[in-house]
């Protein structure tokens, strides 16, 4: 009987240890994997993808801005879709922290738009890297995530920018010109007219017209069958491995590695 009790005690101890791993250690280990394994976290999509339906990435530059960014996030949450926000580091601080954390909570992606909206082609290599790193550091500090994408301000890039970016550059194939027209109708028209599978839409979350347009465009696109997702999720869905130092205009087509825009 003594040996039987020893066996039972051993089994109970092992079960207790296993339960500890399952309910305590394992979740922590998986969480660390998601944070530390760049490749796994970068391409991991938590959303269903239907290859028979078109995809699109809505992108917003220059924020975050209290009010407008929040309004856009409200629409994204309402329709359970995501977008990518290319933030300016000088706008990332204690006041906007809740917006960045909400982006992450909703499954959105945060990209780098430099710290001071500097035109990178006018900087030397050290200046470029400083602008990019400062914004990366703020995104990590206030959003708790690493940043994997860069959109150069003004769309200005050259070989030096590509060489020093340390990230894929994300351009666009639909420019809504929201900053210039300040017209809700114009934003809606440009998206309706030029969208296609794999489109990257350029907008700015600084403007009320853009937030208003999203309240119309997002449900309309969904009704047309579009799946609205982040840049990284769309690349994953398309089987595209985004490469550092390569400029991507349109994930329905090949990246443009040679063309320069002044």
Strands (E), the chain: 55-61, 84-87, 109-112, 169-170, 174-175, 199-204, 227-228, 247-248
Q: Which residues pair with 247 in a beta bridge?
A: 169
Nearest Cα to 114, choosing from 65, 77, 61, 66? 61
As given in the structure block, the two tokens for residue 144 are 């708790």
Dihedral angle computed from the Cα positions of residues 111, 228, 202 and 176, in that order, rounded to the nearest 10 degrees: -160
Q: Which of 136, 204, 205, 233 is catalytic?
A: 204
As given in the structure block, the two tokens for residue 92 are 């990332």
- State yes or no: is 61 an active-site residue: yes
First to last CA, the chain: 86
- State yes or no: is 204 an active-site residue: yes
Catalytic residues: 61, 204
């Amino acid at each position: 009987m003594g040996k039987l009790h020893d066996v039972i005690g051993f089994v109970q101890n092992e079960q207790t240890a296993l339960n500890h791993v399952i309910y305590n250690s394992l979740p922590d280990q998986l969480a660390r994997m998601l944070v530390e394994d760049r490749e796994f976290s970068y391409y991991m999509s938590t959303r269903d993808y239907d290859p028979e339906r078109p995809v699109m990435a809505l992108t917003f530059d220059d924020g975050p801005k209290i009010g407008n960014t929040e309004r856009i996030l409200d629409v994204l949450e309402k329709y359970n879709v995501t977008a990518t926000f290319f933030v300016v580091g000088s706008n990332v601080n204690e006041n906007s922290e809740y917006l960045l954390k909400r982006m992450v909570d909703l499954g959105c992606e945060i990209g780098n738009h430099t710290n001071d909206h500097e035109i990178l082609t006018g900087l030397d290599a050290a200046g470029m890297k400083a602008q990019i790193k400062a914004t990366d550091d703020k995104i990590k500090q206030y959003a708790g995530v690493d940043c994997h994408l860069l959109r150069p301000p003004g769309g200005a890039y050259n070989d030096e920018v590509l060489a020093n970016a340390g990230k894929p550059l994300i351009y666009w194939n639909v420019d809504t010109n929201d900053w210039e027209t300040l017209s809700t109708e114009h934003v809606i028209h440009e998206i309706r007219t030029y969208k296609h599978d794999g489109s990257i839409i350029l907008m700015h979350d600084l403007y009320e017209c853009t937030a208003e347009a999203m309240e119309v465009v997002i449900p309309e696109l969904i009704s047309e069958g579009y799946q609205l997702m982040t840049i990284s999720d769309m690349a994953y869905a398309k089987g595209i491995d985004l490469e550092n130092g390569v400029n991507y205009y349109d994930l329905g087509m090949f990246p443009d590695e040679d063309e320069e825009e002044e």
